[in-house]
Structure formats: C-alpha cells, structure tokens
Amino acid sequence: MRRRAPFSPRRRALLALLVLVLAWLGWSWWTGMAITAGVKQAQMDWDGDGLTSRAELWQAVHAVRVEHTEDGSRKCQRFVWTRNDEVIRVDCRTQLQPAP
C-alpha cells in the first residue's frame, strides 16, 4: 500500500513561498534596506516632492539602503541608492541624555 506524503503539493508550495519570503526579509534586514530599517512612509519621499508615491515605496523595498551612524549624542540616518552608493539625504537628530 502506498503511503501518502505528509504534505500535499499545495502545502509544499506554500511552505516554499513562506521560506522564500522569510529569506528575502532576512536579506533585506542584513543589507539595511529602507523597508526593514524602521523608516516611516512619510520619510520615503526620495525625490523631495513632498509626497510618497507607490514607486518610492517600491524603491524602499529594493533600491534604497539606510546607514546608521552615531557620534556621541548625535544619531544620523544616511539614505543611499544601492546601485551606486549615491547619497539621497541625511537625517540627523541630537538626543539629550538625562543628567546623572
């Protein structure tokens, strides 16, 4: 008698899709893509027109990287294109530490 496989072809396909999505998310986080770096949608205005379009959201998924730097109490986020490392913009803020 033939034994039935534990997963049907549909379940195997869904499992493979889930593994691919998780691998892509891990790669995006590791490379510092903007979509996984905690960047708000309003900050994804790469062309500076004041509006975030669908194309700019898609660029945050695959074309824009965020580099974090810290110099004392000054913390900066540098947004760069992945293809040529051209800087789009730099956002810096100073965080004051409470007095001891």
Instruction: Give the pLDDT confidence score for residue 25 in this predicted structure.
Output: 92
Whole-angstrom distance, CA of residue 19 vs CA of residue 9 = 15
Tokens read off for 43? 């900050």
Print the domain residue range for 85: 9-94
Number of domains in the chain: 1
* Residue 100 in domain: no
* Residue 57 in domain: yes
Instruction: Output the tens digit of pLDDT for each of the chain's 100 residues.
Output: 677 768 888 999 999 999 999 999 999 999 999 888 888 888 888 888 888 899 988 998 889 999 999 988 899 999 999 999 899 999 999 988 776 7
Q: Is 32 exposed, middle or buried (0-12, 13-18, 19+ CB in 10 A)?
A: middle
* Residue 39 in domain: yes
